Amino acid sequence: MKVRRAWVLWLALWMFPLQAQEKVLHVAFSASETGFDPVQTSDLNTAAVEQQLFESLLTYDYLARPAKLVPRLAAALPSVSGQGRIWTFTLKKGVYFAPDPVFQGRKREVTATDVVYTLMRFMDPKNRSPYKFLLEGKIEGLDERADRARVTGHFDYDTPVAGLTVLDPWHVRVHLKTTDYDFGHAMAQPIMGIVAREVIEAYAGDTASHPVGTGPYRLGQWLRSARIELIRNPNYRSEVWHFSPGKDPENQRLVAQMEGKTLPQIDRIDIQIIEEAQSAWLSFGKGELDILGLPAQFSPLALSGDQLRPEWVRRGIHLDRIVEPAIAYYFINQQDPLLGGMTPARIALRRAIFLAMNDGEMMRVIDKGQAIRTAYPIPPGVAGADAQYQSLLNYDPELANQLLDAYGYRRDRTGYRLQPDGKPLEVQYTTGLSSQDRELDEVMKKSLDRIGLRFSSNKLKFPDIIRAERQCQVQFRLSAWIADYPDGDNFMQLWYGPHTHENNASCYQDPEWDRLYEQTLVLPDSPRRDALYHRLARRLELYGVTKVSTSALRNVLSQPWVLGYRAHPILPSVWNYLDVEERHDATP
Amino acid sequence: MTQIYSSRRSENAWSLALRRLWRDPVGRFSLGVVMCYLVLVGMVLAGWLGARWNDPVAVNYAPPTWCASVANRVTLPAGEAWDRSSVIPLYGWTDPLEPLWSEARAAAQRIQPEPVSYRLTLLFGADKWGRDVGQKVLKGTQTSVWVGLVAAFVATFIGTVLGALAGYYGRWVDDLLNGFYGVLTSIPYLLLVFAVAAVFQQKGVGTLILILGLTGWTGVFRLVRAEYLKHRTREYVLAAGALGASHGRRVWVHILPNVSHVILVQFSQNLVGFIKSEVILSFLGFGVPVSSVSWGSMLNEAQNELILGKWWQLGVTTVAMAIFVTALSLLTDALRDALDPRLNS
Amino acid sequence: MSGLLFLVRRLGQALLTLLGVILLVFVLFNWVGGDPALILAGKMASAQDLANVRHQLGLDRPLWQQFLDFVGQVLRGDYGESWATHEPVSAIFRSRLGPSLTLLIPMLVLETLVAIAVALLVAALRGSWLDQGVRMVSTVAMSISLLVYIIVGQYVFAYLWGWFPVKGWGDSVLTNLRIYALLPVLLGLFVSVAPSIRLYRSFILEEIDQDFVRTARAKGLSEVRILFVHVLRNAAIPIVTNILMGLPGLLTGAFLLERFFAIPGIGREIILAVERSDFPLIKAITVYVAMATLAVNLLGDLCYRWLDPRVRLE
């Protein structure tokens, strides 16, 4: 026993060297980041870091649910006129970029020109921005500028664009081509964080490792795909923690902890990339990590039902639980030679396959209970959601069997069904290489066995899956979509005909559906739009295009010494709103 | 004449070696264990054992019978009943499948699903689907040993043929094959696996065998080549040549039996290696498909189960694998000792 | 063959092999590998965006031209930047080499020391119960998958008993050696030491049976002196060769340890690169490791020739 204690002490001394009371937050990512040039970012982990390094014009309120737009670099919410076509933003005054050698020791203030430059960058073909779609086809004159750049090989940042007007150093006006009530959401993305032109040009070619923004933190040490360190930005303006708690008692606790503190409270954020869930979980259990998104496979250890287990409560661990603004949905390729097409027999086959998908078992065994059944394409917490929507395609293998019998899918001697014309029938499910994909394969095979359909799985690396989807070669897959911004359109566009070969992986091209969808584009979030969305959702089920299955639950655990934590459905990171106390170690 | 000479020579060597192997208690014991496993594999292949590995017979994670005092926390949910007679609004569309859809619904409504009973404990416990770990490990043993055997055969075959050609013919054949060997052995194994896997788009047992076989032949090649280099100038080979035996005959009929001990040892060494590699390949996602189960897939499945307190799948698989691999390694050693030509003389 | 001629010939061979490696890697990953544009262009990309990305990466040019570029990169030692993270590839390799070596050098040193010590002991006591016992234990130890050691070791030693941190990596080599590398090194040792013991035992036994040992005994030298000075000196050649040959493979072979213990090493980087179709990185790592392998082989041959003039290489 004594020997062991000595060990622990020795290790503890080495692990936690005596440091001046610096506040540090230890967190982990399960997948690696890419690089910190906002314009080139496409993944959530990178966005989480950029949320702290850069600031966009708008953001979402920390506590308000559903997510509510509030100003960040802007002094107030934009004024919108011309039926949602003219957006005027006013900037906060006295906002400075983080210090960088490029500024030669001067403090560099943010102005409207920086906003225009930041937006223009997204359309520069050289930057090949994955989030170009947020601006593409929207701003007057900007697409034409991009077209010219594609010809000349040089994007002209110097001549003003019709749609982006600098009124004075603190006012910028954006003219949109068409009505778009979602433009505010676009301006709240962390990747829309404002950058300085001289910095980008000075580090041309390596902007990803020289992020200079106005955010509460700046990049410290960075070992790619392994460790990211964020340190407090000395130039950060004075901001105070002030949010309205509403009626939620949990929020009131947060307000009691944090109200009036200057931001940010934490000096250093230490982010580690830990791919193996086991390592992350054990690490949190030992107190090496302060906040952890609970991996679903370990939820039986931490939760009973939707409550934290008593042994964790005793340790003072805190649980925060929200529904992800995301859907898991099955789709079948409408152009597939075996399953596609609009004949009643094919529609029946597709609907039978969807009927055989056992959502309950999926949630119980794969998600370990950490998901809810969502039948509507728009998940909870996103504008346009409908929790009451009734699916046409709930799990029902008996009905599926009846349907297949009725349409002439007879069984052969082995008990598997044939096509009505007697040719063999096999459903090919496309899946990845991870062990979780293997579990999904097992559920899928069991489900299809129940209705006598032969199953095969096509295992591909992730980029190959995307390629196959874009070429309309994926027959059947369980896919997922997470909200880029909390509006229903971000989900409904997944089945829009012209998006075939882009992200309409079901390759569904239906003029009737497309016509209705186009009507929704010019409507704000309203009962009229909801009515159209309901028609669209039902039509997807009637023709056996898609079945929306589940929305995952996000369980976040935080150590007792973490103050002010609340999981946010849209913001990729909220570290700037937190504080840590001196840790009173209660590890076993 | 020469043929009789050489084959008698090797026959003698073989029976001598076998006798020596049998005299060694470790050799005898490990041979017994390996034989038992092979019989088991045969029985699973024939469908007499482990055929029902895929049936959910127990509740999820049913514990092993002999430690059933551990409270089983898994509760089965109530059946997912949903009322087929409820009217679902169509929001103004007409259903393209009417009237058959309504008829099917009515027909399905009349079917009463039979209740199924599940066991609460099993001898070796159950996995997350309630499948018997005992049955699974039988099936897994069959798959892993079978994959290992076939892959070892492929690797040994490639290695022997190429090694014999390189060693016997020498010159440009040797330069070419040796160069190829050099290229393959200087690429990191992990990348070689990914590369070979990328060539074979279809994943499955066949791909697994090819990945193992195509990346694992280099060791055999090196040793067989060295043996042929030695043997091609031996008297008996030169004599056979003088008597008019063709090159092919000299390579495959005269020399091969005299280097077969090297090949046999390499074969069993490869088998050990491949069975262990299969676990790693499963971890990387190149394992057997879901229609089958192997030691690798079981260990990967059991990865998280240990922390959840469901240690039985990990334990049973590890033990089953450790016994076989240990026995096989010991047998390989015993074989090597028994076949060592230096001890022959 | 004179020493110089030998060296030149072996160098030529090594260069040819390297060319083979380059060709193979190029064909496999450019021809059958995934399309990186699909990841880089993002989930909303249009066909035009994809074409744009491919054009910028030079993927739309003829294959032979891409191959020549690749050869040029190898010659210059500059592989450009990673497609996924825009970091210069050489920088990635350099930053990953340290952690990998921090893990592997102690593992190798410990393994060699333990293996030689045990091998000497059991070789001297050949056939005794100790010899048999060590043989049994090491055979059983190496028959269990590294994956199982890691899962169980991390859970029991690091979490339940708290002897080590669960995962992590620091900045200073000393911290890493003292804290973070301990458990991975020990677990790796568990698997790798057993085969080495058996191999070294056979090397030593081979020497023990030689005439010079009998002569030394006849001269009345002590058994310990014979073992440690005479036998070990002679067995050193195959042992050193074995260690050298295994070195490059180790570099990428520790990916399981690196993943579970969140160590930013090369093995982990390879998996990541393949998942992202990050060709510049894949090519660079392969060529670097192949170069290391070839260099080590060359070195081994030269040592052999130098230490043992009898050896003639075909």
- DSSP letters, A342-407, are SSHHHHHHHHHHHHH--HHHIIIIISTT-EEE--SSS-TTSBT--TTPPPS--S-HHHHHHHHHHT
pLDDT tens string C41-51 = 665 566 777 77
The set of residues, in sequence order, having a beta carbon less than 8 Å from that of C164 and lying 6+ positions away, is A11, C157, C158, C179, C182, C183
The per-residue pLDDT for A261 is 92
Give residue for tokens 């049973």.
B316
The answer, yes or no, to whether the previous bond of C36 is cis (omega within 30 of 0) is no
More confident residue, B263 or B3: B263
pLDDT tens string B182-237 = 888 888 777 788 777 766 666 678 888 988 898 889 889 988 998 888 888 888 88
Q: What mean pLDDT value characterizes chain C?
A: 80
Closest among B46, B41, B221 to B137, alpha carbons compared: B41
Q: pLDDT exceeding 90 applies to what percent of chain A?
A: 62
Q: Considering the entire predicted model, what is its pTM?
A: 0.84
Q: A73, A56 in Cβ contact below 8 A?
A: yes
Q: What is the CA radius of gyration of chain C?
A: 24
pLDDT tens string A61-86 = 999 888 889 999 999 999 999 888 99
The two counts, helices (H) then strands (E), for chain B are 14, 0
SS3 (DSSP) at A578: coil
Closest among B233, B213, B341 to B278, alpha carbons compared: B213
CATH for B13-55+132-343, options being 1.10.3720.10, 1.10.10.60, 3.90.1150.10, 3.40.50.2300: 1.10.3720.10
Contact C36 A503 (CB under 8 A): no
Nearest to A360 among B77, B111, B307 (CB): B77
Q: How many Cα atoms sit within 13 Å of A289 on the Cβ side?
A: 26
Contact C33 B276 (CB under 8 A): no
The per-residue pLDDT for B77 is 46
Average pLDDT of the residues in B163-174:
88
The per-residue pLDDT for B7 is 47
In terms of CA atoms, which chain A residue is nearest residue B79? A360
pLDDT tens string B273-288 = 899 888 888 888 788 8
The per-residue pLDDT for C309 is 53
Contact C148 B191 (CB under 8 A): no
The per-residue pLDDT for C314 is 38
**Window C:258-277, CB contacts with B under 8 Å:** 267, 270-271, 274
Q: CA geometry: angle at C146 spanning C142 and C147, to 5°? A: 145
Q: How many Cα atoms sit within 13 Å of A319 on the Cβ side?
A: 22
Contact B187 C267 (CB under 8 A): no
Torsion angles phi and psi, residue A59, rounded to 5: -155, -170
The per-residue pLDDT for B52 is 82
Ranges A328-332, A336-340, A435-439: which has the least confidence: A435-439
Q: C103, C177 in Cβ contact below 8 A?
A: no
The per-residue pLDDT for B71 is 47
Ranges A40-49, A234-243, B5-14: which has the least confidence: B5-14
pLDDT tens string A416-431 = 999 999 899 999 999 8
In terms of CA atoms, which chain C residue is nearest residue A466? C38
Which residues of A fall within a CB distance of 8 Å from C264?
Answer: 223-227
Closest among A391, A94, A343 to A214, alpha carbons compared: A94
Which residues of C fall within a CB distance of 8 Å from B313?
Answer: none
Which residues of A fall within a CB distance of 8 Å from B101?
Answer: 403
The per-residue pLDDT for A58 is 95
The per-residue pLDDT for B3 is 43
Ranges B20-34, B173-187, C61-75: which has the least confidence: C61-75
The per-residue pLDDT for B6 is 47
The torsion region of residue A579 among left (phi > 0), alpha (psi -120 to 50) and beta comes to beta
The per-residue pLDDT for B114 is 67
Ranges A318-322, C111-115, C299-303: which has the least confidence: C299-303
Q: Is the per-residue pLDDT at A441 higher than 80? A: yes
Q: What mean pLDDT value characterizes chain A?
A: 89
Ranges B139-143, B261-265, B336-340: which has the least confidence: B336-340
pLDDT tens string C231-287 = 777 777 778 777 877 777 777 678 888 888 888 888 888 888 877 777 788 888 888
Q: Residue C5 to residues A295, B33, C16: CA-CA distances in angstroms? A: 61, 53, 17
Q: A476, A353 in Cβ contact below 8 A?
A: yes
Looking at the complex, report in whole angstroms how far the Cα of residue A246 sits from the nearest Cα belonging to chain C.
36
Residue A492 pLDDT class (50, 70, 90 cuts): very high
- DSSP letters, C63-84, are HHHHHHHHHHHHHHT---B-TT
Nearest to C85 among A34, A125, A282 (CB): A34
Residue B172: is it exposed, middle or buried by C-beta count within 10 angstroms (0-12/13-18/19+)? Answer: exposed
The per-residue pLDDT for A114 is 95
Q: A478, A328 in Cβ contact below 8 A?
A: yes
In terms of CA atoms, which chain B residue is nearest residue A397? B108
The CA distance from C90 to B155, in Å, is 35
Residue A173: is it exposed, middle or buried by C-beta count within 10 angstroms (0-12/13-18/19+)? Answer: middle
Ranges A20-29, A251-260, A567-576, B192-201: which has the least confidence: B192-201
Q: C3, C306 in Cβ contact below 8 A?
A: no
Average pLDDT of the residues in C295-308:
74
pLDDT tens string A128-140 = 888 888 888 889 9
Beta bridge partners of A318: A558
Alpha helices in A37-190 (DSSP H): 44-53, 112-123, 142-152, 183-186
The per-residue pLDDT for B83 is 64
Q: Is the per-residue pLDDT at B127 higher than 50? A: yes
Which residues of A fall within a CB distance of 8 Å from C95?
Answer: 223-224
Q: Is the per-residue pLDDT at A232 higher than 50? A: yes
Residue A543 pLDDT class (50, 70, 90 cuts): very high
The CA distance from B135 to A549, in Å, is 32
pLDDT tens string C82-108 = 777 777 888 888 888 888 888 888 888
Average pLDDT of the residues in C10-25:
85
Residue A406 pLDDT class (50, 70, 90 cuts): very high
Q: Is the per-residue pLDDT at B1 higher than 50? A: no
Q: Is the per-residue pLDDT at A89 higher than 90? A: yes
Structural domain spans, chain B: 13-55+132-343, 57-78+115-131
**Contact status of C32 with chain A (Cβ, < 8 Å):** no
Written as one letter, the residue type at C76 is R
Q: pLDDT exceeding 90 applies to what percent of chain B?
A: 18
Looking at the complex, report in whole angstroms how far the Cα of residue A466 sits from the nearest Cα belonging to chain C.
7
Residue A508 pLDDT class (50, 70, 90 cuts): very high
Average pLDDT of the residues in A296-306:
86
The per-residue pLDDT for B5 is 45
Which residues of A fall within a CB distance of 8 Å from C274?
Answer: 461
Q: pLDDT exceeding 70 applies to what percent of chain A?
A: 96
The per-residue pLDDT for A431 is 87
The CA distance from A527 to C161, in Å, is 59
Closest among B140, B149, B127 to B62, alpha carbons compared: B127
**Contact status of A432 with chain B (Cβ, < 8 Å):** yes
pLDDT tens string B133-162 = 888 999 999 999 999 999 999 999 999 999
The torsion region of residue A225 among left (phi > 0), alpha (psi -120 to 50) and beta comes to left
Mutating which of C275, C278, C279 best tests the A interface, going by the most A Cβ atoms within 10 A?
A: C275
Q: Is the per-residue pLDDT at A330 higher than 50? A: yes
Average pLDDT of the residues in A159-185:
91
Contacting chains of C (3 CB pairs or more, <8 Å) are A, B
More confident residue, B12 or A460: A460
Nearest to A464 among C34, C49, C167 (CB): C34
Q: Is the per-residue pLDDT at A561 higher than 50? A: yes
Q: Is the per-residue pLDDT at A515 higher than 90? A: yes
Which residues of A fall within a CB distance of 8 Å from B77?
Answer: 360, 364
The set of residues, in sequence order, having a beta carbon less than 8 Å from that of B241 and lying 6+ positions away, is B250
Q: Is the per-residue pLDDT at B73 higher than 60? A: no
Residue A541 pLDDT class (50, 70, 90 cuts): very high
The set of residues, in sequence order, having a beta carbon less than 8 Å from that of C157 and lying 6+ positions away, is C163, C164, C183
Number of C-beta neighbours around residue C39 at 10 A: 25
Eight-state DSSP code of residue A133: G
Closest among A92, A89, A91 to A78, alpha carbons compared: A89
pLDDT tens string C199-231 = 888 888 877 777 777 777 777 777 777 777 777
Q: A302, A309 in Cβ contact below 8 A?
A: yes
The per-residue pLDDT for A584 is 58
pLDDT tens string C122-173 = 888 877 888 888 888 888 888 888 888 988 999 988 888 888 888 878 777 7
More confident residue, C303 or B39: B39
Ranges A582-586, B45-49, C9-13, C237-241: which has the least confidence: A582-586
